Amino acid sequence: MVTALDAPADKLIEAVAEYLKTRVTEIRPPAWALLAKTGVHKEHTPTEPDWWYYRAASMLRKLYRAGRPVGIERLRTAYGGRLNRGAAPEHFVKGSGSVVREILQQLERAGLVEKVPGRGRRLTPAGVSLLDNMAFNVLRSMAEKNPELAKYLASKT
C-alpha cells in the first residue's frame, strides 16, 4: 500500500493543496491572510496567492509524519526561522501562531484533524486516507511519465 511518506513531499503537498482549494469548502483563507506575514522573521507577506492551501497541506503532512498528537507550539517552531536583527546576531523565532491555529481549526471543521485534549491535534482516519490516496495518485502520475518508476508503484499496491 502506498503511504504519504512514499511520495515526494513537494509533489504531494502541491496535489493536496490543489485538492483542498477545489474540493474542501471549509478551507478558505480569512480576509486578513492577504495582509499577514507568516512570522515575525519574514519581511514581506507571501507572494504566492494560494499560500494558505499550501500551508494547510504541509501541516497535514507534518501531522501524518508525526503519527502522534502535535501541538500548536511545535508547528510554530516548524514554521519559524531566523530573525534578521541588523548588526546584532540572528536568532531563531517561531512562526505565526494565528496562522497555525486558524488552519488547524479549518482542518478540524473539514473532518481531517481532531483535537486530543491536553496533547494537541492528530489526523483523523479521513485525513490519513486523503493523504494516502493523494500519494498514490502522485506516484501513478509520476509512473506514467517515467515507466521505470512503475515497478515501485506495483510493489506498493
Q: Would you say residue 155 has pLDDT above 80?
A: no
Amino acid at 106: Q
Q: Would you say residue 101 has pLDDT above 60?
A: yes
pLDDT in tens, 19-59: 999 999 999 999 999 999 999 999 999 999 999 999 999 99
Domain count, the chain: 1
Q: What is this structure's pTM? A: 0.92
pLDDT at position 143: 87
| Residue 3 falls inside a structural domain | no
| Residue 57 falls inside a structural domain | yes
The CATH number of residue 13's host domain is 1.10.10.10
Domain that holds residue 31: 9-156
| Residue 51 falls inside a structural domain | yes
Q: Which three cell numbers stand for residue 42?
A: 519574514
| Residue 70 falls inside a structural domain | yes
| Residue 63 falls inside a structural domain | yes
| Residue 40 falls inside a structural domain | yes
**Mean pLDDT on 122-151:** 90
Separation of first and last alpha carbons in the chain: 4
Q: Residue 34's CB: how many other CB atoms inside 10 A?
A: 12
pLDDT at position 157: 57
Burial 116-155 (b: 16+ CB within 10 A, else e): eeeebbbbbeebbebbbebbbbbbeebbeeeeeeeeebee
